[in-house]
Amino acid sequence: MRNFPAQYSLQANDVMYFCHIPKTAGMTFRTIIEDQFACEDVCPATLNAQLRKLTLEELRRYRLFRGHLGFSNLPALLPNKRVVNITVLREPVARVISHYDYIRRMPGDPHYAAVKDMSLEEFAQRLTAGKLGKNIQTYHVAKTTQFNLNQLSVEETLALAVESLDEFGFVGLVERFQDSLFLLSYIFGWKPILNSRRENAAKQKPALAEIAESTLEVIRTNSQLDAELYQRAKATFEQRFDSMVADLLQRYGATLTDYQSGAYQSGAYQSGAYQSRTALTVEQLAALLEQHYDQRYRELNLPTAETVTYDFNQPLRGDGWQRREYPLDSPTSYRWMGPTPVAMLDLPIATQTDVWVEFQIICAKATQPEIVNGVKLFVNQQPVSLSLLQGDRDQRLLYAQVPQSVMQSSRPFTNLRFEVSQTLSLNSIDPNNLDKRLVGLAFNLFQIFPSHLKSFSSVAASFESPPWQEALAFLQQHAQPEEPVATLLLFRLHLANPISDYQTWLKKGGFPWVVLHKGMPDWVDMLLPKLAMQGLTPVLANEVFVIFTSHKLPRVSYANPHVKSLYVDYLRRNLIRAGKHLRQKLRSESGDLAEAGQPSPEQAKVEAGRK
C-alpha cells in the first residue's frame, strides 16, 4: 500500500481483486466490498474450481473478483486489465488458532477429517503451505505478483510478499477492522462504511491465556514470515490512517463540534468495541468521511437527472442495510434493514419541482405487522407522509409526495432515511427460519420522479390498458374531486379524489363511488351484497371494471355482458360454496350417527328400499 495513491477512483480498465486469506474476517469484508459494485460486475466464483468453469469472455466482463482464488492466475486471465489488489491481514497467532477452531466446527470443510482429532499444536505444524509452513498470508500475498513460487527460497518469497504488499491498493487489519473500513472508504472515495455485519464469525473465541505457552511458541515459530509481513503491513496502515485523519481534519475539521469529547452511542458501536488511535469518535470520523465522499462524488462530474430508479442490483448508496440477497423468482436483489432500525440511501437527483418518492417492501409476512405498518420516511431529514399505493400481505408499494422545498440540499444527493420501531431476528418469529440477524424490513425498489410525471411509477403501465383508461376517464369526468372513491389504491396516481381500499369501504360505507375490479373474486363476493344494500348501481362496465355510484347517472343494464358476467360468476361461486358446505355437513352427521350406532340417511334409504 506504500506505493499506491492515497486517493484513487477506480477506472474503466481496473479490476479489483480481494485476496481472501482464511480467517481474516474475509466473509464479512467480502459482502462489504460487493456493496460497492453492481451485481453484473461481481464475478460469481469465489473458489478456484468455480472460476475454472467460466469462459475467458465471461471473466473479462467482471470488475470485482473475491474469494480464495490463490490457485488462479488472475493477471494472466485478464490481459490488458489493471488488477487492483486488496486484502485484510490478521495477527498470525490469532489467525492460526481461529483457522483451527473453524475447521473443527465445520464438518463440511475439506480438512475436517484430518483436523478434527488434531491438537492445536499438531495443527500448527501440519497442513502447511509447503516450505512456507503456516505462513499462508505471506504465500497468498506473494502469489498476487508472481503466480509460481516454486523456484523461490523462503527468504525470496517473503521479500516478494513485502514488495507485493507495497503495491496493493488497500491492506486492512482485523485488529482495527472499523479503522480499516474508514481507510478503504477514504482511498476509493466511497461512502463511509460502518461495520455492522458478522459473517461466518465464531460465537466464542478461546482466550490466549487458556492455551499452553509451548503451543503458542510452536505457532509463532511456524508463522515467523507472516509475523514479519504483518508488522510491515501494520506500520504502513498506521502511517496511511494517520495521514488520512490529518487530511480530513485540515479540510473539514472546522465543521466538527465537541472535538475530542463525547462518545458514539448509536447502533453497532454502543458496546464500546470500537478503538482508534485518534481522539475522534466513530461518529466524528464518519462525519468527516461523509464530507470527503460528497467532494469525491462531485469531482466525478456525473450527470444528474430529474428521475431516479434505484434497486440493490446497483452499488449500495447508503448504510444501515444487511448484505445483498437474491430471490429465486426475480432478477432483482433485495436487502433487509439492519441491524439498527435506521437505514439510509443517498440518491443523486436534480429537480426544480415537487416529487413523488416510491418504494417497495417485500417479505412483509416474514416480520411483525407493527414493524410493517410503522415504517417512517424522512427526506433530507424532513418527515414526509406515506400512503399505500398497492399491496398485499407480503408486498407493499408506498409513496410520498414531497414538496420542492424539502428537496433542496447542499449535498449532491437526496437523502432518504427509513425508520422502523424495532429490529428482530426472523428466527424469533418463526423457528423454522434460520436467519438470526437483526432485521427490520426488506426493500427492493426505489423511485424518485417529478409529481407530474406519474408515467414513471412502477405501476403506471396498468393505465396503458384501454379498460383502465376508460374507467379513469369516466371518474375524472363524473366524480367531483372531494368525493371519496373506493377502488384499487393505485388510482391515486391519477385521481385527486380521496382514494380508499375495499376494506375501508366495507367498514365505513357511505362512499358515492365504488370501482369494482372483476379479477378479484374474493372482494367481489364481499362487496356485491353491500352495494345492493346501499343502493349503488352500475354506471360503467368493461372487461376489467364495473363502476357503481349513488349518483343519478345513466345506468348500465344488468343484462350488459360485463355486468351480467359479474353476477353470474358471483352466484356460481356461492352455489359451489353452498354445495361444499352441505357435503361437509352430511359427512359430519353421518359420522355422528355412526358413533351412535345408527344408520346414516343414505344407509337408511338403502335399507328402506330393500324392505
- How do residues 146-185 score in pLDDT, each as one tens digit? 999 999 999 999 999 999 999 999 999 999 999 999 999 9
The pLDDT confidence band at residue 271, using thresholds 50, 70 and 90, is very low
Closest CA to 454 of 354, 382, 380: 354
Q: According to the model, what pLDDT value does residue 133 have? A: 82
The pLDDT confidence band at residue 120, using thresholds 50, 70 and 90, is very high
The pLDDT confidence band at residue 187, using thresholds 50, 70 and 90, is very high
Cα–Cα distance between 339 and 246 in angstroms, integer?
31
Residue 409 confidence (pLDDT) above 50: yes
Phi, psi for 316 (deg, rounded to 5): -70, 130
Phi, psi for 53 (deg, rounded to 5): -80, -10
Residue 448 confidence (pLDDT) above 70: yes
Residue 268 confidence (pLDDT) above 80: no
Q: According to the model, what pLDDT value does residue 606 have? A: 53
Kindly report, residue by residue over 301-355, the tens digit of the pLDDT. Answer: 888 889 999 999 999 999 999 999 998 878 899 999 999 999 999 999 988 899 9
Strands 442-450 and 438-439 turn out to be unpaired
Coil, strand, or helix at residue 211?
coil
Residue 595 confidence (pLDDT) above 70: no
Cα–Cα distance between 371 and 8 in angstroms, integer?
41
The reported pTM is 0.84
Specify burial of residue 362 (Cβ count, 10 A radius: 0-12, 13-18, 19+): buried
Residue 370 confidence (pLDDT) above 80: yes
Q: Please state which of the ranges 202-216, 365-379, 522-536 shows the lowest mean pLDDT.
A: 202-216
Q: According to the model, what pLDDT value does residue 596 have? A: 61
Coil, strand, or helix at residue 201?
coil
Q: According to the model, what pLDDT value does residue 126 have? A: 82
Helix 154-167 vs helix 136-143: angle between axes, to the nearest 10 degrees? Answer: 60
Closest CA to 342 of 442, 422, 285: 422
Q: According to the model, what pLDDT value does residue 23 have? A: 93
Q: Tell whether domain 308-457 is in CATH 2.60.120.260.
A: yes
The predicted model gives 46-74 an average pLDDT of 94
The predicted model gives 42-69 an average pLDDT of 95
Closest CA to 553 of 458, 610, 477, 609: 477
CATH superfamily of 14-236: P-loop containing nucleotide triphosphate hydrolases (3.40.50.300)
Residue 264 confidence (pLDDT) above 50: no
Q: What is the DSSP letter of 52?
A: T
Q: Which amino acid is at 326?
A: Y
The predicted model gives 404-417 an average pLDDT of 93
Coil, strand, or helix at residue 445?
strand
The predicted model gives 521-533 an average pLDDT of 93
Helix (H) or strand (E) holding 210: none
Cα–Cα distance between 491 and 446 in angstroms, integer?
19
The predicted model gives 219-244 an average pLDDT of 96
The pLDDT confidence band at residue 265, using thresholds 50, 70 and 90, is very low
Sign of the torsion formed by the C-alpha atoms of 477, 479, 480 and 484? negative
Mean pLDDT estimate for the chain: 90
At 607, list the grid cell: 335399507
Q: What percent of the chain has pLDDT over 70?
A: 91
The predicted model gives 135-151 an average pLDDT of 94
The pLDDT confidence band at residue 38, using thresholds 50, 70 and 90, is very high
Q: CA 119 → CA 33, 126, 211, 221, distances in Å?
A: 35, 11, 11, 17
- The domain locations on the chain are 14-236, 308-457, 462-556, 569-610
Q: Give the distance, in angstroms, between the CA of residue 72 and the centroid of all CA atoms in the same chain.
A: 30
